[in-house]
């Protein structure tokens, strides 16, 4: 078959998107998904998403990592699929869609290139030595760092992701440097098994963890700088629960094409 696809990127996180509302494409084939995401032998992407119909929602987001395996929630992917849904005229400027971690509300700008995506509430943050561990739709490890621009994120992230604690289930490893007016974040992502240019659930996890570390409460707005650009995370924290969490940033159409399957 000839598969029509679209490429989007959100702060450097790039994704293959497919309109699968007619269920023409059977995506239960890990080897095929991995090949499509391969940057040398396929289209290339940090992951692939299928937009499908779901009763009671505008659409369903079905996401696979670049290794071909079904993934937990992808924040930047969620923002990109909202932009794709607007392009397909499924939605206008607001939506509620279904993802693997439940319903998500989102708003998109009139121009269609800036998306605010509501993330799940977070009540539990634990510690692993000095690092923070939490789930923002995907599991994350947050470690404070200095001179982050020169850190070997691939080697250090990989060593944590595959240590005895995390090797079976996997975890995303985030390193953060606090510059006062913004946080600089670099992330090693499981499933991609490499550093990515951005990670939406990771940026969210970092913002929450740093608010806890600093003892902040109330309405909090955090500017996040990543290799691929800039994101924003805003939320409420009452000292017990993080709620009204929004991941905000660009979602940009790159190109469309066809590939023979």
- Residues annotated as part of the active site: 74, 199
| Range 231-261 burial, b when 16+ CB lie within 10 A, else e | bbbbbebeeeebeebbbbbbbbbeeeeeeee
The answer to whether residues 16 and 10 touch, using CB atoms and an 8 Å cutoff, is no
**CA dihedral angle for residue 71, residue 93, residue 113, residue 48, rounded to 10 degrees:** 20
Dihedral sign (CA 243, 251, 207, 223): negative
What φ, ψ does residue 255 adopt, rounded to 5°?
Answer: -165, 170
Please enumerate in sequence order all residues whose Cβ is within 8 A of that of 31, keeping only pairs 6 or more positions apart, or say none. 68
* 115 vs 9: CA distance, rounded Å: 12
User: Shortest CA distance to 136 belongs to which of 120, 113, 153?
Assistant: 120
């Amino acid at each position: 078959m000839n598969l029509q696809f679209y490429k989007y990127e959100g702060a450097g996180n790039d994704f293959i998107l497919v309109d699968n509302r007619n269920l023409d494409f059977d995506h239960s084939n890990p080897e095929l998904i991995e090949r499509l995401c391969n940057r040398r032998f396929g289209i290339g992407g940090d992951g692939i998403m299928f937009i499908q119909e779901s009763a009671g929602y505008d659409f369903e987001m079905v996401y696979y990592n670049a290794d071909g395996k079904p993934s937990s929630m992808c924040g930047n992917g969620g923002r990109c699929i909202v932009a794709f849904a607007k392009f397909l005229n499924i939605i206008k400027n607001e939506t509620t869609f279904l993802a693997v971690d439940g319903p998500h509300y989102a708003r998109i700008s009139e121009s269609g290139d800036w998306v605010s995506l509501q993330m799940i509430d977070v009540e539990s943050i634990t510690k692993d030595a000095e690092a923070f561990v939490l789930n923002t739709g995907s599991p994350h490890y947050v470690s404070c760092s200095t001179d982050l621009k020169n850190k070997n994120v691939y080697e250090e992230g990989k060593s944590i992701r595959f240590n005895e604690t995390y090797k079976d289930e996997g975890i995303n490893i985030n390193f953060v440097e606090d510059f006062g007016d913004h946080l600089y974040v670099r992330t090693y992502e499981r499933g991609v098994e490499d550093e990515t240019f951005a990670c939406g659930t990771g940026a969210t996890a970092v913002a929450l963890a740093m608010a806890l570390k600093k003892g902040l409460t109330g309405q909090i707005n955090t500017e996040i700088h990543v290799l691929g650009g800039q994101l924003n995370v805003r939320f409420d924290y009452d000292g017990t629960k993080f709620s009204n969490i929004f991941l905000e940033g660009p979602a940009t159409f790159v190109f469309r094409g066809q590939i023979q399957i």
